[in-house]
Structure 1
């Protein structure tokens, strides 16, 4: 017997409370230098759009000289982690803390994250945040597994 696909109805959505519809997904990333795990929380479309915009520059393309957007993927990964750690209320730790920035002698939370997390932790952490924020699909997970096994 074939199972019929069930699509979301307006009734389904209206039957949920606002907290359920806007719930934040939680996760954690390893931070060995810090001695443990950092809690991270998902973010919404508006916040992700702003992070992406902040990590985008425009460069001239080849022959026609048109300006094309170019995203700094390394900066994007760090900024995603900074936002996700800041948004999580399970800990008072944030890379944006002025005392932390002063202690490290840096002016931005991204610089602090770059000092306190290894490149591998940044990459794995960004993947975790993207996953809890709904970005990873099954195909992306399979590709990551293939890379890991190669």
Structure 2
């Protein structure tokens, strides 16, 4: 006999958690790439090759931006890329834990993601108001939506668990 399909009320919840989990895993993969690049750029030779490549790159209508980037990289220096790599790696681990936990449907992952994502919202709000950008606004709105959604799901899950427990006197 085939297993009974899940109730309709749990399917959207499961799908929503899966979408958020995929988003967290994509962020993890991107941050791992940033960390690998940063750890690679901490070597003087690799750093100098990047600066040389940028200096000789011919980009129409973007010379000002290119020279600003070259200047920024030279001011930054190769030694600071280790710190950038470490921070990126730390966030990759955090987002990876969130994504895997949500994918597996773990209750703790819902609250873990709420706390981690919610803790960054004040900074995102400040950054969006201070230096407005459409991508910053979209990120802020998306993260607020994720937090609200996960809080609602986590509270429903808790209420459903309480309701399903046998009452003991």
**TM bucket by the smaller chain?**
under 0.3
Q: Which has the higher contact order (CA 8 A, sep 6+)?
A: 2
Please state which structure has a larger fraction of its residues in helix.
Answer: 2
**What's the TM-score once normalised by structure 2's chain length?**
0.23
Larger radius of gyration: 2
